[in-house]
Amino acid sequence: MTKEQAHIEIERLKAELWENSRLYYVENAPVISDYDYDQMLKRLEALEDMYPEFRTPDSPSQKVGSDIRKEFVQYPHRYPMLSLQNTYSIGEVEDFAARAQKTLEEGFSYSCELKFDGTSISLNYRNGVLVRALTRGDGVVGDDVTSNARRITNIPLRLKGEGWPDDFEIRGEILMPYTSFDRLNEERADAGEEPFANPRNAASGSLKLLDSAEAGRRGLICTLYHIPGEHGFTSHSQALDAAASWGLPVSDKRKICHSIAEIEEYINYWDTERHTLPFATDGCVIKINELSAQKALGFTSKFPRWAVAYKFKAESVLTELLSIDYQVGRTGAVTPVANLAPVLLSGTTVKRATLNNADQMALLDIRIGDWVYVEKGGEIIPKITGIEESKRSPGSTTVPRFPEVCPDCGTPLVRRENEAKWFCPNEDGCPTQIKGKIVHFLGRKAMNVIAGDATVDQLYAMGFVRTAADLYTLSSEQLLQLDGWKERSVLRFLDSLRESAESTPFEKVLFALGIRYVGETTAKQLARHFGDIDTLAAASEEELRDVADIGDVIARSVYEWFRTPAHIDEIARLKMAGLHFKVDAKEGGSDILQGRTIVISGNFSISRESLKELIERYGGRNSGSVSSKTTYLLAGEKAGPEKLRKAAQLGVEVIDEARFMSMLPEGSAPQAQASKEEDLLLF
């Protein structure tokens, strides 16, 4: 390789690594494995070592990836929050130990710990009270996610016991257990949203939600593993034992080792036993235990020299690809699914695996009859990661062709801009989509009617139901024509329909409609923001984007849904059936703030979530940004200067907390926080 070629390759690798870093940290949607990323990074480092004149301060070899998002306030880390040097080789762990032994004059031990597959967090406790939680960010500053961290049940808001420093940071990982991950992905599937690929992505995305109540509902947990700075401890393990005594969630899977043989034994044990844990791990971390030794070894610009991460290789099996099915989802997305010769993988028998989309099939250059490598993404979702070309039959030319028309209704497929999936646009005429929407409508989290797939299949096959509104015109005579239905079955079904119509609140009815991208949380936000279906239906895209956590994609989807005449007719029929399309006044509430849109900014005596609840309870709407539609800017201490400037420019009235509370009935305000130390800085 010439010098010029090396320069071109270095620039290509840098661009590719930064893009994959963005996808990993910001989008939570990685497209390559950790192993592939690490190998690419090693190649970059090797080339930069050969040609150091091309090494720049902004190279991925010199800086950690960043998860910073503009929606959050950033604060500096007291100590840089670095990443770890990764290795997949015991030999490189031996090299790490040899370097330490060569540098250190005194003996030392190793603290071996699990490497948790989540998203990094740094917690700051002051006088025993949690005052701030920051993400890794770019290692120098991090996003303030304190309001979300407060909702994670095993993070204590106040420490117990005694002996904790007056002001200290403790770092660790936010994890999503498998049970929470499965539940979340079921909800996303019901809402027609793309499921998270693995628990790490789900944990990272959940920690960055703007709605802290929803973040708290996601079932996240925390585990902590490092206290930076000098606080009188002599070893890393002593510091963590102390943290555990203060009620902090420290892992009990740690072990002190004294030799490479003991380290290897620990790694081999957890390479197998990790499959029994309720959360994802992707390796082991080996740290020099003595803090004086850590200080002597120091840091590089990116890594501590006193720690290394050994990463497990993903379990992969080889099996034969028998055929490919193309499945149509409720939203019309067509997904290729590989049918495989049954094979045991991570303790379960795998017969099917996703191929994701047409681009992935083309990238793999896959053939029917190929022998394929199958892994479980994040130990969960089986996926095909490669082809064993040496086992491909000579002259094999059976290249699968992604369908050009819907495999169910024959409508030409379309591919929306910036999306990888192909869709059937015939949402109101495609049998699979129609039945899927009705099943969704009847579901437990929607209208909660006693019925399932089999019932919907029968109703559709008999021609009795084509839309959800048709359910409410069914007669006993029609239902008695269904296979296996008797008078008691008919009565139970009709009673269930009637009860759901009478008792299901607007937000669940809105979710039941099956608007693309509108899940349970989004439906709740839209219902509370607009108050009734007619106001929502008349909203412009700009007004929809004014709702917290509603971006361009969701706003466009909702706007277009309400511009389809068939959908407006459907709502009219459902209204006639008695379904609720207006927010009921909450207990103890009223319409005092009806028609008023309020933006919140600054510090208050109560949390911002409490203020939002008060606004919604009394009929108002909460918005995240000041616009011409804003009635009041509710400004506390340190209110955002940009919001204040825009309010003045637009003539929006600025009110303080006392004025806001005076608008509400006496006794409405919740109790103020017990300590100002617990206040969250909100902008």
**Cβ proximity of 496 and 451 under 8 Å:** yes
- Annotated catalytic, 115? yes
| DSSP-derived pairing of the beta strands 281-288 and 110-116 | antiparallel
What is the distance between the alpha carbons of residues 643 and 654, in angstroms, rounded to a whole number? 10
Give residue for tokens 């762990």.
93
Instruction: Count Cβ atoms below 10 Å from residue 456 Cβ, excluding itself.
Output: 21
**Cβ proximity of 73 and 143 under 8 Å:** yes
Measure CA 121 to chain center.
15
List alpha helices for 449-530, DSSP H: 453-461, 476-479, 487-503, 506-512, 520-530
- Say which residues have a Cβ less than 8 Å from residue 433's Cβ, sequence separation at least 6: 328, 329, 330, 331, 332, 408, 424, 426, 427
Residue 588's nearest CA partner among 620, 622, 621, 614 is 614
**Cβ proximity of 117 and 280 under 8 Å:** yes
What is the distance between the alpha carbons of residues 342 and 674, in angstroms, rounded to a whole number? 58
Residue 499's nearest CA partner among 449, 429, 559, 549 is 449
- DSSP state letters, 437-466: HHHHHHSTTTT--S--HHHHHHHHHTT--S
Of the residues 3, 14, 102, 115, which is catalytic? Answer: 115
What is the distance between the alpha carbons of residues 581 and 507, in angstroms, rounded to a whole number? 8
Give residue for tokens 């939570």.
28
- DSSP state letters, 16-78: HHHHHHHHHHTSS--SS-HHHHHHHHHHHHHHHHH-GGG--TTSTTTS------TTS-EEE-S
**Cβ proximity of 322 and 334 under 8 Å:** no
What is the distance between the alpha carbons of residues 327 and 363, in angstroms, rounded to a whole number? 20
> CA triplet 473, 444, 439: central angle to 5 degrees?
50
What residues are paired with 233 via a beta bridge?
Answer: none
**Which residues are marked as active site?**
115
